[in-house]
Structure formats: structure tokens, C-alpha cells
Amino acid sequence: MGEIILDVVNQRTAFPTKRGMLQAVNGVNLTLERGRTLGVVGESGSGKSVLARSIMGLLPRAAQTGPGSSVHLNGRDLTALSERELRPIRGREVSTVFQDPMTALNPTLTVGAQLIEGLRHHLGMPKRAARARAIELLRSVGLPQPETRVDQFPHQLSGGMRQRVAIAIAISCEPDLLIADEPTTALDVTVQAEILDLLQRQVRERNMAMILITHDMGVVAVRCDDVAVMYAGRIVEQAPVRELFQRTRMPYTAALLSSIPRITDGPHRRLDAIGGRPPDLIHPPAGCAFAPRCKFASDPCQGVMPALEGDERHRFACHTPLQVEAVA
């Protein structure tokens, strides 16, 4: 086993609402080694982004974390630190790339000013050296004419360019962990591939660990080393990518895989869809949260929450797991 960068233990994150407490993340455990990319995949509302914000400590004040929850980054428990103690860690040891670069970037500051701010704050670089480093970073993420772009404002750049700037800011202080939360959502297909290639290359060259949050199993298949499938705030299957695709055990994971369009499909073929809707996380079902939508559900599925079981390599939470031979 390599160097452990991140260790999340029993993470529980809930939000108060008028109808009661909404359990957005419910008992998540995961570890991540240096140099590896973990794909966190699931439908909208499954808890992926809340998990990322829980790791970063970027939750609203009203959010509540459960007793026994902890997030260890480089061996230090972030949940035990105050906001003042977390500030020098964000950007320096852990950084994030958000979905929409237009809201992530400050529209009133130039691209260079936003890069220079982090370099001066975290690394104590002089202003001239920080500007030179900012131009170098913009060049490293493939932004054309970085000497000119450094003095431009975000609205003067295309969506793909803005996302490259967001990545440059995220990697500027060479963090150990990079969290990319659906970084290609607002981009067209060709730009999406370029951004994903860029992230993959930066992780490899800088020997970082990365969490790639997505709803696209196709992206996970070619961009990640390991994958954690989330549903209703829980991890329901976790394994190395090749193992999960070849030996899928959880019916929800199989349903996600079957919904991927294939180039071998005939014209006008109807896409597979998962029937029903995700459960109410304020009043979740007593048993498996996926049971009402699962064609393999049995009596235990309706009343008993399945635990995440299996070996260290492949774990899944299911009373009626798929047979490996049938999946193959």
C-alpha cells in the first residue's frame, strides 16, 4: 500500500429543514493513496458534492456532522480544526475545482490577481515572482497566450479557458489532494475531454491524489484507478475500476453501467433508464434505499439496511448481489 493521503471515517453530514433533518451523507468510509484517482459516481442528489464539501470543511453553519465522523488529511484530523486553522490547509494541502468556473472565479479580479493571491498567501512569494509563476501555471494548463491572459478578466475567456484557470489556481500551491467536482459540466464534449486529460496529466506529473466526482460511468472507466458508487448518501459499491466493471455486484451499479450509450448500439435504440425516483432523505426507508427501484429486491431488502461488506478489494452493500457469471 502506498502513502495514505486521505482517510475518511464514518462521515455523516445532515442539514436541518422544515420537514426534519436531511441526511445527505450517511456513514461514508474511504481512503485514498498518493498518485491515485478515486471516482465518486452516482445520480444527482446522491451526496457526492456534499461529501466533497465535508472533506474540505466548506459546509454551511447549519450543517451537522455525526459523532465519530473524521477526515484525516496527511494524518491530521481536519474535523478537529477551527476555521482559522483550516484556511492555510485549503489551497496548500487540499484544493478543489468546482463545477461552474464562472461562479468559482471572482469576476471583479483579473486572472493573474486571483493566482497571485494564493501564491503570496500560502507560499509567501514576492509579487514579481508570483506573477511569473502565475504565467508559468497558465502555460502549464494549456491556456494560449498566458502573458496576455494573465491580465484579463474571467468574462473575457471562454468556458474552457475559465476552467483551465480554475485548475491552475487549484494546483498553484501543489496540494497533496485535488477534488474535482464535476469539472466538465458546463463544457462542450471536445473541451470536456481536454479538461479531463489535463487533470489526469497534472495528477501524474505532480504525484497528487485526486477525487473525481461525476455522474458519468464512461469517464470513470478511463480516468480513474478506483471507484466508489454513491446512492442516497451511502457508498453502495467500491472497488478498483477494472474489478468493478468486470465483477459488478450491486444492482444499482449495474443499472448505471447499462445506461451508458454504446457505439455498437443500432440507430434510434432506446436508452436504458432506472425507473422510479431516489428516496426521501428526510424520511429514508428502513431497508435498502434502492429496493423500491430494484428488480432483484427481496423481503430482507425492504426492512434491513445492508452493510458494506466484502474483502478489502471489492465491497458492496446488497442482500441480493448479482452473480459474477451473470454479469460477465
264 beta partners? none
pLDDT tens-place string over residues 84-132? 999 999 989 999 998 877 788 999 999 999 999 999 999 999 999 999 9
Pairing of strands 4-17, 20-33: antiparallel
Number of neighbours of residue 285 by Cβ within 10 angstroms:
16
Mean of the per-residue pLDDT values for the chain? 90
pLDDT tens-place string over residues 185-202? 777 888 888 888 989 998
DSSP state letters, 191-222: HHHHHHHHHHHHHHHHT-EEEEEES-HHHHHH
At 326 the pLDDT is: 45
Q: Measure CA 322 to chain center.
A: 26
50-73 mean pLDDT: 93
Cα 21 from Cα 281, distance rounded (Å): 8
Contact 19, 282 (CB under 8 A): yes
Phi and psi (nearest 5°) for 276? Answer: 75, -165
- Band of pLDDT at residue 240, cut at 50, 70 and 90: very high
Residue 325, pLDDT above cutoff 60? no
Residues 6+ apart with CB under 8 A from 79: 57, 65, 69, 70, 71
10-27 mean pLDDT: 95
Query: 187 is written with which cell numbers?
Result: 463544457
- Band of pLDDT at residue 328, cut at 50, 70 and 90: very low
Residue 165, pLDDT above cutoff 60? yes
Cell 434502492 belongs to which residue? 290
Phi-psi region of 288 (alpha: psi -120 to 50; beta: other; left: phi over 0): beta
8 beta partners? 30, 71
Domains in the chain, CATH or no CATH each: 4-231 (3.40.50.300), 239-328 (no CATH)
At 1 the pLDDT is: 65
Q: Which of helix, strand or coil describes residue 236? A: strand
Cell 464514518 belongs to which residue? 10
- Band of pLDDT at residue 54, cut at 50, 70 and 90: very high
Beta-strand runs (E) in the chain:
4-17, 20-33, 37-41, 64-65, 70-73, 76-77, 94-97, 177-181, 209-214, 226-231, 234-240, 309-310, 315-316
CA-based nearest residue to 166, from 145, 190, 141? 141
At 324 the pLDDT is: 60
At 190 the pLDDT is: 81
pLDDT tens-place string over residues 253-309? 999 988 777 777 777 777 777 888 889 999 998 899 999 999 898 899 998 999 999
| CA quadruple 42, 44, 45, 51: dihedral sign | positive
DSSP state letters, 276-293: S----SSS--SS-TTGGG
Phi and psi (nearest 5°) for 248? Answer: -60, 130
Residue 250, pLDDT above cutoff 60? yes
CA-based nearest residue to 5, from 36, 35, 32? 32
Cell 474535523 belongs to which residue? 79
